[in-house]
Amino acid sequence: MKFELDKSLLEFLLGDREVMRLARVLISIDLFFVMVHGIKYAFKQDFIDLFGYWIYRNLTITNDWSLPEITNYLKFVVIIYLLCRVYAVIRQPVYLAWAFVFTVALLDDSLQIHEGMGAYISNMPGEFVLFGTELQSDRGLRVQDIGELIMFAIYGSVFSLVLGIGFLRSQLQHRKIGVGFGLLLGSLAFFAVVVDVIDRVAGSYSRTLAQVVATIEDSGEMFVVSLTVAFAFIVYRRHGPNAEQA
């Protein structure tokens, strides 16, 4: 089945049965984790008594290095591998650029880099001032939160440079595929940045509300990464070492 440039991202995914099967499997796994996460919070003590705290902690989608998070890390690894394989075959820099972006995303997510930067800024002696304004807020954001947003801004600048070079040096067909990855990254950024900020603000009003928003944030990230795996897989099938013939 030939890749056609005028297809939307959704049509592109829906047009391949194997990819749709893969997407359904990945989304089903994500939904299972989200469902278990909800049950755990609804029946917390009963769940701990029945399965133990270790199982409780490692099935929590909002905990770093829990089973759902590790699954997400592995999905990032698959995306990076597929993009590198495609680049090795067709030598279009846009795929190498996206491999770099997703590698940074994986490292940041697994090593909590932006959280660490936020903690570093919040622990600086004295008041942290940016452009003459003291970094404090009465709207639920902490200095650490603003530090994290600064780190995201740095990521955005670096990504823009790397992707700009990759797009300029690639053919039109592959630029359009790159735009598909951009839409997915934008969706991921929405949950990782925007919803995360809402989570921090919600935490100053209600712990329950904060837990709900945090669940939306992490489950949204899981779903987007699963769709990105499916998209990377279909690109690999079209342009990888065993590419389908038109």
Average pLDDT over residues 145-173: 91
> What integer pLDDT is reported at residue 246 of this predicted model?
38
Average pLDDT over residues 206-223: 91
> What integer pLDDT is reported at residue 231 of this predicted model?
93
HEC profile for the chain? CCCCCCCCHHHHHHCCHHHHHHHHHHHHHHHHHHHHHHHHHHCHHHHHHHHCHHHHHHCCCCCCCCHHHHHHHHHHHHHHHHHHHHHHHHCCHHHHHHHHHHHHHHHHHHHCHHHHHHHHHHCCCCCCEECCEECCCCCCCCHHHHHHHHHHHHHHHHHHHHHHHHHHCCCHHHHHHHHHHHHHHHHHHHHHHHHHHHHHHHHCCCHHHHHHHHHHHHHHHHHHHHHHHHHHHHHHHHHCCCCCCC
Query: Which one has a higher pLDDT value, 60 or 6?
Result: 60
Sign (positive/negative) of CA torsion 28, 105, 187, 82?
A: negative
Q: Give the tens place of pLDDT for each residue, 87-137.
A: 999 999 999 999 999 999 999 989 888 777 776 766 665 455 444 444 554
